[in-house]
Amino acid sequence: MTDIPEQYTGFKSGYVSILGAPNAGKSTLLNQILGEKISITSKKPQTTRNRILGVLHRSTSQMIFFDTPGVFEAKDKLNVRIVDAAFAALGDADVVLAMVDVSKPDPNAERYLVKKLRNQNRPVILALNKIDLIEKSGLLEIITKWSKVYGFKDVVPISARHGTQVDDLIATMEKVLPAGPPFFPEDTLTDVSERFIVAELIREQIFRLTGEEIPYATAVTVDTFKEKKEGRLVAIEATIHLERGSQKGIIIGKNGAKLKQIGTRSREQIEQLLGTQVFLKLFVRIQKNWRKDTRAIRRFGY
């Protein structure tokens, strides 16, 4: 066992994998915990496609969170890879944070999650999310039901969106973290690049502003990312990849209105992220049936 430096005596650090069904609120919770937006959100399931790392620094601990895609029994190649990425995070975890949406239960996805949890031996804490959307009188019954399903280390009702009892959840997780020094410097928030987050912020607006199949048929790549005017302006060119020509007209919209709306909202979010003025140019290209193409899936970073 490695000796812990004297200044970190009593300090705890470790990795926490956030697992749950699609739309359980995992990304919203991570952003709430960190006080910064590093993981995109929308009301559509499977918004998150990659494992996102976020670091919480406390005086007594350092928690490294993995925000993971929603788990369900996937069939097509892209979703199989996405769900595999979620469960791969278990291999690096010291603690598992399982999340459930109590306002809209998904029995199939929840059964699948519990089945996967039985195959590992890490402590699991259950966060019952979106308690602001249900009657308080029914909460005790939900807690009792879940306590019988699996041997959770603890069950904490929360509202990730409003921050309700999130501090209690953090304290509960800290209790089961292993002792050890921090893994990351104090100024580390995430290990993903700005280019990655920029691509995600564009994809977030596509999820929010389009419907039907469009969001799921979309991938975004950042082609250029250049600082200009002594860092006071960042010029970004990005490409929205779609599967079929018919989808291109929907993304562009009448007289380019939809693409302009996506660009404007994305630019506002990117400027908040970078803290500087941004010039954003978007292109739209067709990559036929890319979700069934293993090479294309890999090229788009999934």
pLDDT tens digit string along 261-295?
A: 999 999 999 999 999 999 999 999 999 999 988 88
Residue 189 falls within a domain, yes or no?
no
pLDDT above 90 coverage of the chain, percent: 69
Please check whether residues 155 and 90 belong to one and the same domain: yes
Where are any strands of DSSP class E within the chain?
A: 12-20, 52-57, 61-67, 95-101, 124-129, 154-157, 219-228, 233-242, 277-286
Region 4-20 average pLDDT: 85
How many structural domains are present in the chain? 2
Position 51 confidence tier, pLDDT thresholds 50, 70, 90: confident
Region 34-42 average pLDDT: 90
Helix (H, G, I), strand (E, B) or coil at 295: helix
Domain finish residue from 176, 209, 228: 176
pTM to 2 decimals? 0.83
Please check whether residues 15 and 128 belong to one and the same domain: yes
Region 176-204 average pLDDT: 94
- Mean pLDDT over each residue of the chain, to the nearest integer: 91
Residue 41 falls within a domain, yes or no?
yes
Please check whether residues 219 and 250 belong to one and the same domain: yes
Q: Which domain holds residue 287?
A: 194-299
**Backbone φ, ψ for residue 281 (5° rounding):** -120, 125
Q: Chain-centre distance of CA 225, in angstroms? A: 23
